[in-house]
A and B are shown apart, each in its own frame.
Chain A
Amino acid sequence: MGVTILQQFPMKENRSGAHIIEFLTKRIIALGAKQCGTFLVDCETYASIPQLGVQRTLHVFHNSEQPASVFAILDNGTGKTVPVVADALFDLLLLKMSSVYTSKKSKVEIRGPRFELNDFVIKIGAININHNVKGIIVEAEYRPCVVFGLCWDMLREFLQGFLGSCVSNVPPHYFQNRINDIFQPLDTIQQYLDHITIYRKATGILQQYNTNST
C-alpha cells in the first residue's frame, strides 16, 4: 500500500476514450511498464427519502484493488461527510435500507488497464457515467511510501513524464491539509469522489475545465 494520486487527462473533441487510453498505454509501455490485468472502480449514489429532513447523499464505492471492501461516504447535506469502510456484506445491507435510501440510478464506473512499473502502479481509466465515456483519469500509486508529502514531488515528476503539462505543479486540492498524514485506501476513494462530482456537475464546466488545464 502506498500513496495514490489521481490525475485527469483532458479529452480531445475528436478522439474517443478508447483512443486516448491506447495512446497513453503506448507511452507507459515505452517506459517499461507491464500490464497486469485491469481495474474497476464503481460508484453508486443513494439519496435519502424526503421524510428524513435534510437530504443526505450516500456514495458507495467498490475498488478492485480492495476486493473485500465496500467504501461508503455519507454526505449529510451540511458539508460534513462520514466515511465508512465495510465488508462486502454492506451491499446486502443497502438492499434492506432501500426504503430509506433510494438509488439515483446513476452508476459511475471507471475501468481500464492496470500497469506496474517497479514501485509504481499506474491505472488508466475511462469514466463511464451511465455508459457514456465522460473523461479519462489516471491513477498513479507509489507503493514504498505512505506519506503524501514525502513522495509528491517524485509522483508529480513521474506523471509529468508521460502525461505532459496537464499535471500541475501544485499538489491536488484533496491533499492540501493532509500532506503529512499517513495515506489510507479511503483517501483514494475520496479523490475519486471529488473527481466524479466534478464530472457530474455539468459537462459545460467540464469542457471549461479541460480547456483551462490544457
Chain B
Amino acid sequence: MAYSTSVNISIETQAENIIQEISYDGQEIYQPALSMSDNLSKLAQKIDFSKVDEDCEEPEVEIKSEEESKEQPPNVPISGWIDSVVSKLKRAATEICVISDVLAVTKEKRYMILDPIPTESIETKPMAQIYLRKKALASASTIIMSAVDRLRSSQNEFMRNRTTPDFHIELLRLRQNWRLKKVSTAIIGDLSYKTAGSKFGQSGMFEVTKAEDDIQSTSGISSSSPSTSPSHNMSISKAPSALRVTVPTELQGVSYIMVLCQKDQENIFNTSFNLLGSAPATPNPDMHWQQKLEAAQNVLFCKELFNQLAKEAVQLQATIPHMVVGNQISATVFPGIQLIIGLCHSSTNGNPNTILPSKTDHDHVLEHSLHQLLREVHHRNTHQPFPHPSSGPLGPSKRRAVAGPNAADRFELLEMSKTHTLLEQIIEQAQHFFMRLRTEYVIDTLAKEVKDPIIISHWNSLNSPTQACVKVTIVSHGFDCICRNSLVVHVMKKSLKCICRDGRVMYLSYEPQELRDLIFCQIYQHQIMGVQSVAKTQGWQCLASSSHLGLGPVEPMGNASSCLLASPIGDRLISVKCEPQGNVSVSIAHSPKKDFFGGQLVKERKWENLGGSFKKVRWDKMEGKNFLNKIELLMASLTNST
C-alpha cells in the first residue's frame, strides 16, 4: 500500500548454460543443454509433494497432482526416476485420504470441531504510521545530508586548488593571449608584431617555465582571474603565478617614445642629457607574466618605431638635415623650432633612482600619433586591398590597381607613387601643431588688444591631424546686425589659407605677423563698411569710399581707407579715414556755413554751397561707446542742428 508507485523489476535467468569448468586460459566450458525429457524429470524431482503449504502453493500442487494422476493410470515403471514419483504420489494420496476423512468427521460435528484460531490482527494505528514514515524520512535525509557534505567538501577542495596557481591553467590563459609553441621540452612564445604586419627584424621570443615550488606557502588569499583583466587585478592580488616568463634582456624593462618640441638651441642639450639618464620606476621583478609580456612587447614596439624613424631620418633629404644622435632624432620643424623624438628605455637592472625628466613639456598627442602611424603601417601590411586579381602583384594600392584599366595618365601615377614616411608625417603634424598654436595665439592676442570691433573666433571641433579651420568674425558691439565681417582661416601644414568675406583667397606663410596684418586690415575695412551701413540707416548718403586710399603718408602696411558721407539734405559732410594701424580721423564740413563774411575772393554767399574746408573732430573726446556709436551720434547731432 505504501509502495503503490514502486517500479516493477523483472528478473531473468541468464540465457547461458551452467559453466562446467573454467580452464586456466579463461575459457569456459559449458554443460550441454538439457533435453526436454531431462528437463521434465529434473523439474519433477524438485516437487516435494509431502510439503503442503497453506495458501499459494496449493493450486500448483493440485495441478501437478492432476498431471501426475494422468500419468498414473499407465503405471509403467519405465525408469528409476518414476519410482520416487510414484512413492511421493502415494504418500500424497494417503494424505489426501486422511484429509478427506478428517473433513468428513468434522462435517458431522460430533467428534471433531474446527475452531478458528484467534490470530492477532495487524492493528493499523495512524500515529504509528506517522512515526514510521518520520523515521524513514529521517534516515533518508541523513543519507542525503551525508552526500551533500561529501559534495561540499569536494567542492571546497576544488576551490582551494583553483586559488593555488595551477601551471596548466595559467598556461591555458597564457595561450589564449599569446602565441606559444613547444620546442622539444621548452615552451617558446613570440611577442613580436610579425603576425600583425610588422617587418622588424628583432625577434620577440620568450620562454615559459614552471615556477619553482616556493609558492605553496601563500595560497588561497584572493581570487584572481588574470585572463579577464590582469593589469587591473594585479595591483590587488598578490598570489604568485605558477608560470615564469623569461624575456630576453634587451626587451626587459620599460620603454617609451618621447616627443619634445624645443624652441631654442640650448634646451636640446639639456633634454638629451635628461633623456639618456632617464628611467622610470623600475618594474617589479616578480610582476605578473601578463604585465611582463605587455611591457616587453611595448619595448619591442618602441624599438621598431624608433628604428624606422631613424632609418627615415638618415634617408630623407631635408633642407636642414635631420640628426640622429644616440637614441634621439632631431628634426627642424620651423626655423628655430626643433622636434626631438627620443627612445627611453630602462632595463630592470638599471639604477632605480634616476631623475625623471619633467613630463610636462613633452607632447602626448604627437607620441600617440607616432604609435598610430606605425600601427597603420602594420595594418596596411596585412590588409591588402580587395578585390585583388590573383595574377596581379601584391602591394599596390586600390587606386593603383585600377589605374591601368582607367587609363590614368603620368601625372596621376606620379601622385600615387608619392608616399610619406613616418618621419615626414610626424613632422607635418608637428608643423601643423605649431601653426595652430600660432594662429590661436595671434587671434587671441588681437582679440585682447583690439576692443572696438569685437573679434570672435570659432574653431572647428573636428579636424584632421594636418588641417584645422577657424572662423574669425569681426563685429561692433551694438551694431552686429548691421555690419559683420567674417574670415575663414584654414590652418595647413606650413601655410595659412585665408578666405575673406568677398571671396578672396590669400595664402599666408608660417610667420604669425602676416596673419596679424591681415586681421588688422580686415578690422579697418570693417570700420569703413560699418560707417557706410550706419549711414544708410541714418539716411545719410555715401558720396565716395575707397578702401585703398592713395593719399596721405605712406603706411607701414596696406593702405588707408576712407569714405565721404553727406547728410540727408546735403549741407553737412563727414569724412572718415581709417589707417591700418588703427588710427581713425574724422572731419566734418558745413556747406553753406551758417555765418558768411564776404571777403575779397568770395563775395557772394552762393559760393559757399560748393563745400567748405573740413574741420577735424577731436575723436577721443567724442561721446559714444565705440567707433560706430560715435559716428552715429555725430550724424545725429549734425542732422539735429540743421
Interface on A for B, CB 8 Å cutoff? 1, 64-71, 85-89, 184-186
Contacts and interface: CB of A to CB of B under 8 A. Distances in A.
Contacts of A64: 410
B410 A69 contact: no
B409 A85 contact: no
A87 B409 CA distance: 13
Place the interface of chain B in its size category: 10 to 19
B418 to A, nearest CB: 15
Nearest to A71: B407
B602 interface: no
Contacts of A65: 409-410
A68 B413 contact: yes
A89 B392 contact: yes
A41 to B, nearest CB: 13
B407 A184 contact: yes
Contacts of A67: 410, 413
Given A66-B407, A71-B407, 5 more contacts: A1-B409, A68-B400, A69-B404, A69-B407, A88-B404
Contacts of B406: 69, 85
A186 B404 CA distance: 12
Contacts of B410: 64-67
Contact of B405 (A1, A86, A184): A86
Nearest to A65: B409
Contacts of A89: 389, 391-392, 404
B407 A185 contact: yes
Given A89-B391, A89-B392, A70 B404 contact: yes
A87 B393 CA distance: 11
Interface string B393-414: 0000000100111111110010
Of listed A65, A69, A70, A86, residue having the most chain B CB within 10 A: A69
Of listed A68, A71, A87, residue having the most chain B CB within 10 A: A68
A85 B391 contact: no
A189 to B, nearest CB: 9
Contacts of B403: 68-69
A99 B406 CA distance: 28
Of listed A67, A71, A85, residue having the most chain B CB within 10 A: A67
Contacts of A1: 409
A139 to B, nearest CB: 14
Contacts of A88: 404
Contacts of B407: 66, 69, 71, 85, 184-186
A87 B389 CA distance: 11
Contacts of B404: 68-70, 85-89
A154 B86 CA distance: 145
Interface of B: 389, 391-392, 400, 403-410, 413
A185 B392 contact: no
Nearest to B392: A89
B413 A87 contact: no
Contacts of A86: 404-405
A1 B407 CA distance: 10
Nearest to A39: B410
A89 B404 CA distance: 9
Contact of A69 (B389, B391, B400, B408): B408
Nearest to B411: A1
A89 B391 CA distance: 9
A68 B402 CA distance: 10
Of listed B391, B403, B404, B405, residue having the most chain A CB within 10 A: B404
Contacts of A184: 407
A184 to B, nearest CB: 7
Of listed B389, B408, B413, residue having the most chain A CB within 10 A: B408
Nearest to A84: B405
A68 B408 contact: yes
Contacts of A68: 400, 403-404, 408, 413
A96 to B, nearest CB: 11
A85 B406 CA distance: 7
Nearest to B413: A68
Contacts of B408: 66, 68-69
A87 B400 CA distance: 10
A53 B5 CA distance: 92
Nearest to A64: B410
A119 to B, nearest CB: 14
A86 to B, nearest CB: 6
A65 B414 CA distance: 12
B575 to A, nearest CB: 47
Contacts of B413: 67-68
Q: Top 9 A-B pairs ranked by shortest CB distance?
A: A87-B404, A185-B407, A68-B404, A69-B407, A66-B407, A68-B403, A69-B404, A85-B407, A85-B405
Nearest to B406: A85
A65 B400 CA distance: 16
Contacts of A186: 407
A185 B405 CA distance: 11
28 contacts: A1-B409, A65-B409, A65-B410, A66-B407, A66-B408, A67-B413, A68-B403, A68-B404, A68-B408, A68-B413, A69-B403, A69-B405, A69-B407, A69-B408, A71-B407, A85-B406, A86-B404, A86-B405, A87-B389, A87-B392, A87-B404, A87-B405, A89-B389, A89-B391, A89-B404, A185-B407, A185-B409, A186-B407
A69 B413 CA distance: 11
Contacts of A70: 404
Contacts of A87: 389, 392, 404-405
A178 B177 CA distance: 64
Contacts of B409: 1, 65-66, 185
A54 to B, nearest CB: 28
A70 B409 CA distance: 12
A99 to B, nearest CB: 19
A1 B403 CA distance: 14
A8 B391 CA distance: 40
A186 B405 CA distance: 11
Contacts of B391: 89
Nearest to A37: B410
A86 B408 CA distance: 11
B509 to A, nearest CB: 27
A147 to B, nearest CB: 18
Contacts of B392: 87, 89
Contacts of B405: 69, 85-87
B385 to A, nearest CB: 15
A86 B413 CA distance: 15
Contacts of B389: 87, 89
B136 to A, nearest CB: 89
Contacts of A69: 403-408
A85 B407 CA distance: 7
B642 to A, nearest CB: 60
Nearest to B405: A85
A86 B389 CA distance: 13
Nearest to B396: A68
B537 to A, nearest CB: 46
A67 B409 CA distance: 7
Of listed B405, B406, B407, B413, residue having the most chain A CB within 10 A: B407
Contacts of A71: 407
A185 B410 CA distance: 12
A65 B412 CA distance: 10
B19 to A, nearest CB: 81
A67 B408 CA distance: 8
A70 B404 CA distance: 7
A185 B408 CA distance: 9
A146 to B, nearest CB: 13
